[in-house]
Amino acid sequence: MLAVVVARDATPIPERGEQTPEFIEREEGGQVVYQFRNKTFRLDKAKARARLNGKRVINGLRSAELNVLPLKYAEAYRIYKQMKANHWEPDVIDMTKDAHQWNTGALSSRERWIIEMGVGYFSSAEGIVGDSVLHVIEDNLTAAELKHASLRHIAEESIHMDSLLHIIGSLNIDLDEVTAKFADIPSIRRKNDYITRHMPELKMGIDLTVTANKQKFAKAIFGITQVMEGTQFYALFAMVLSLHRQNKMTGVGQMFQYTLRDESNHIALGRYILTELIAENPDLWTSSFQDELVEFMREGVVLEKEFVADCLPEDGVGMTRREFLDYVDYNADRRLTSLGLPTLSNVRTNPFPWLDEVIFLRKEKNFFETRVTEYQTGGSVKNSNEDDLI
């Protein structure tokens, strides 16, 4: 039974639907009338429905940006709750073992290179995602619950950047050296240039009542959440988590594990916003635009495979480079099919099925005797595998 809220004079305020001499609720035509003692409040149901209908992904009522009620996009709120339940902090992850392995020659040169590539790439990539979500996606949304979830997305990008600083500080890596070292790697530069080339125009503000501009906005959501976070992050994550699986750099592995779990929510939120945008604006979803998205993903896959070749010039970390290339294709096709778009490859099986177990590591599983923090509140839904979210 729900608790009754008590007013200052200790007179109970009844639950909805409960009639007392102090409180009466009735309908009169198109209005709901609430009478509480000597005060009467009238709510216009037609106006309430109009407000709900006026709430849109873009081009909605300006007041809807400020008030989450009436809640229209409930799935965005559910994803936000899941994101919040998965909150984690890098500083509590013990890096003692990682520092010892890093500074005593316990890692091969190839394994050190993978860690360095992870830090070097994500130091810029996480900033690109956070900036794009803030200035391109969230700025243009006109429904409070969508903006609310996107702001949580941005906050998590800050946590991811914080985790990279925690890694650099713990391993005593020279910050200037790692920044300079990776600024000019061609595959990293091409990936970053590719994903950001359309962002400046959208940051300046464009008329989103124009179909061509709606398509630019939709492509930005697709590019950030489905191509970059959903496809171009995964191979490097798999390399680092493979080291973690072999009891190497387990603190870094934990941070990448939690980051990848966050990415699952970002992918789900981006896909949901995109599908709602399309439903409300069918004029943007032309066959030529769908082809444009597929080609955009195709280009992203080519660039990611170049990056994989730089990360892993030859087979290593217990897996083959061919498996990593297949993994890129597998993830790209998952993102495309989730939006009803045609696939780019014939890879239908995840070459790394163990990743689900590593990503959604449970508290009771004590891998490699490292301290595992589940980072989920008691009342939250526990994810058992990646497909629960994406």
Q: CB-side exposure of 30: number of CA atoms within 13 Å? A: 7
172: pLDDT strictly greater than 70: yes
151: pLDDT strictly greater than 60: yes
Helix (H) or strand (E) holding 36: strand 31-36
Give dist(CA 169, CA 11) in Å, integer. 58
Quote the DSSP letter at residue 222.
I
Helix (H) or strand (E) holding 44: strand 39-44
Please, is 202 exposed, middle or buried when counting C-beta atoms within 10 Å of its C-beta (0-12, 13-18, 19+)?
A: buried
- Please, what sign has the CA dihedral across residues 74, 195, 295, 217? positive
Can you give the pLDDT at residue 38?
83
In-domain check, residue 94: yes
Can you give the pLDDT at residue 40?
86
Place of tokens 């959501």: 221
In-domain check, residue 42: no
Can you give the pLDDT at residue 378?
45
Got the DSSP string for 227-263? IIIIIITHHHHHHHHHHHHTTSSHHHHHHHHHHHHHH
The per-residue pLDDT for range 4-50, each reduced to its tens digit, is 333 434 444 445 555 556 678 788 888 878 787 788 888 788 887 78
Give dist(CA 368, CA 346) in Å, integer. 36
In-domain check, residue 281: yes
Residue 198's CATH number: 1.10.620.20
Minimum mean pLDDT range among 15-19, 116-120, 156-160 = 15-19
In-domain check, residue 312: yes
62: pLDDT strictly greater than 90: no
* CB 14, CB 20: distance < 8 Å: yes
Can you give the pLDDT at residue 201?
85
347: pLDDT strictly greater than 80: yes
Domain hosting 86: range is 74-388
In-domain check, residue 380: yes
In-domain check, residue 243: yes
Neighbours of 210 (CB within 10 A): 12
In-domain check, residue 368: yes
| For residues 96-122, average pLDDT | 92
Q: Which residue has the higher pLDDT, 321 or 264?
A: 264
* CB 277, CB 378: distance < 8 Å: no
High-pLDDT (> 90) share of the chain, %: 59
The per-residue pLDDT for range 221-256, each reduced to its tens digit, is 999 999 999 999 999 999 999 999 899 999 999 999
Number of structural domains, the chain? 1
Whether the upstream peptide bond of residue 351 has omega within 30° of 0, thus cis, is no
Show Cβ contacts of residue 106 under 8 Å, excluding neighbours closer than 6 positions: 100, 248
Share the mean pLDDT of the chain.
Answer: 85
In-domain check, residue 20: no
For the sheet with 23-28, list strands across it: 23-28, 31-36, 39-44
Can you give the pLDDT at residue 304?
96
359: pLDDT strictly greater than 90: no
Q: Which residue has the higher pLDDT, 5 or 58?
A: 58
| For residues 146-153, average pLDDT | 97
| For residues 55-83, average pLDDT | 91
